[in-house]
Amino acid sequence: METTRLLFTMGGMPFEDATFGFDKWGELKATMPYGQVPVLEVDGKVLAQSSAIERYAAKLTGVLIRYVKPVMLPCYCSQAH
């Protein structure tokens, strides 16, 4: 999730970084897609898997477009994972 945090921060996009301890994981696991974290919730919809979340953040913030040639975008998104 560090890549996602960086993308949102560099793009000036506000976000809530909700974390929890291992003691809460038991009750949360059943509510998570694939029973895993990280997840990103946007407007009540949940997006799972780090690479999918990173692609969303990169596209939403436009950070990569400002710094990378368009032909390289998919490569950098994959590399970030």
Rounded to two decimals, what is the model's pTM?
0.76
pLDDT of residue 48: 95
End-to-end Cα spacing for the chain: 9
Question: Does the structure show a pLDDT above 80 at 79?
Answer: no
What domain range is 61 assigned to? 2-80
What is the per-residue pLDDT for 69?
A: 65
Q: The domain spanning residue 11 has which CATH number?
A: 3.40.30.10
Q: For residues 25 and 38, is the Cβ–Cβ distance under 8 A?
A: no
Domain count, the chain: 1
Residue 78: the pLDDT is: 76
pLDDT 10s digits, 14-70: 999 999 999 999 999 999 999 999 999 999 999 999 989 998 998 899 887 776 666
Contact 50, 38 (CB under 8 A): yes
